[in-house]
């Protein structure tokens, strides 16, 4: 279970998802945006870092989730177009070259370190990373990352395959269909012993039906024998 877009602006929603996870007794991977997002930044709200440090002390994982979660004009048009189509403008690392990615990662690591939240885990906004940005991740000392299709050990290249299940808030039949699909896939993957990845966002909580669908999916997966873990522990277990 991962909670995306963790930042001061989404403090209430993140706390809600964390409380739900605590109700099941499971850890979560918290994907932190260190730069400015929706009017606030981690550096500007130091007390919020205390909450995240407490969560990590309790067993959660902290991961870097880009810098500002906003795609810029960098890179060629094919990758920019892909980022817009898949991540609706949030694919910040989808088209970066090594220098551009390195600069963003340096800024992100500095804020995380100053907040007492240093980590070697990285999930790109929109789950999209250019090949050059992935090289920058390795050079910056990150050990693992994720995309739509699984988790990757950046040191060995080994992948743990499993599609990320997430909601697409928007109302109407498509939202309801997506929620039902998430439940069904979580149940099926758990029953088959596969990797179940539930990727949750703050905006999901503005649609009450999505939270209930998520809780049912978690409950079903656990009852089907799934063992809850973080991305860091998943990668570590594959090495052993």
Neighbour tally for 149: CB within 10 Å:
14
Q: In whole angstroms, what separates CA 41 from the centre of its chain?
A: 17
| Percent of the chain's residues with pLDDT above 90 | 81
Task: Give the 3-state secondary structure of residue 152.
Answer: strand
Task: Give the 3-state secondary structure of residue 155.
Answer: coil
CA 178, 189, 30, 146 dihedral sign is: negative
**What confidence tier does 168 reach under pLDDT thresholds 50, 70, 90?**
confident
Q: Please tell me the pTM assigned to this model.
A: 0.92
What is the phi/psi pair of residue 31, to 5°? -95, 105
Q: Locate tokens 């804020």: which residue?
A: 111
Q: Please write the tens of the pLDDT for every residue from 2-37.
A: 999 999 999 999 999 999 999 999 999 999 999 999
Q: How far apart are CA 38 and CA 139, in angstroms?
A: 29
Burial of 171 (0-12, 13-18, 19+ CB in 10 A): exposed
Q: Residue 238: what pLDDT?
A: 80
Looking at domain 2-239, which CATH architecture does it have?
Alpha-Beta Barrel (3.20)
Q: How far is CA 100 from CA 62, 76, 80, 133, in A?
A: 23, 13, 14, 8
Query: What stretches of 52-169 adopt beta strand conformation (E)?
Result: 61-64, 121-122, 144-147, 150-153, 159-161, 164-166
Cβ within 8 Å of residue 29, ≥6 positions away: 1, 2, 3, 60, 61, 63, 121, 123, 230, 231, 232
């Amino acid at each position: 279970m991962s909670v995306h877009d963790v930042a001061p602006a989404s403090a209430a929603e993140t706390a809600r998802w964390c409380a739900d996870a605590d109700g099941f007794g499971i850890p979560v991977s918290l994907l932190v945006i260190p730069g400015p997002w929706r009017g606030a930044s981690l550096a500007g709200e130091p007390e919020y870092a205390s909450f995240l440090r407490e969560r990590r002390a309790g067993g959660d994982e902290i991961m870097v989730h880009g810098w500002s979660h906003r795609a810029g004009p960098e890179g060629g048009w094919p990758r920019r177009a892909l980022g817009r189509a898949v991540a609706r403008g949030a694919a910040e690392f989808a088209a970066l070259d090594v220098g551009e990615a390195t600069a963003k990662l340096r800024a992100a690591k500095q804020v995380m370190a100053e907040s007492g939240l240093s980590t070697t885990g990285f999930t790109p906004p929109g789950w999209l990373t250019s090949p050059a940005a992935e090289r920058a991740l390795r050079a910056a000392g990150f050990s693992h990352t994720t995309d739509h299709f699984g988790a990757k050990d950046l040191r060995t290249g080994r992948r743990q395959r499993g599609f990320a299940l997430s909601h697409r808030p928007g109302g109407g039949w498509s939202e309801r269909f997506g929620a039902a699909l998430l439940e069904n896939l979580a149940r099926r993957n758990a029953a088959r012993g596969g990797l179940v990845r539930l990727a949750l966002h703050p905006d999901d909580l503005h649609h009450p039906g999505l939270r209930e669908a998520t809780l049912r999916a978690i409950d079903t997966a656990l009852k089907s024998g799934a063992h809850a873990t973080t991305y860091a522990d998943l990668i570590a277990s594959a090495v052993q």
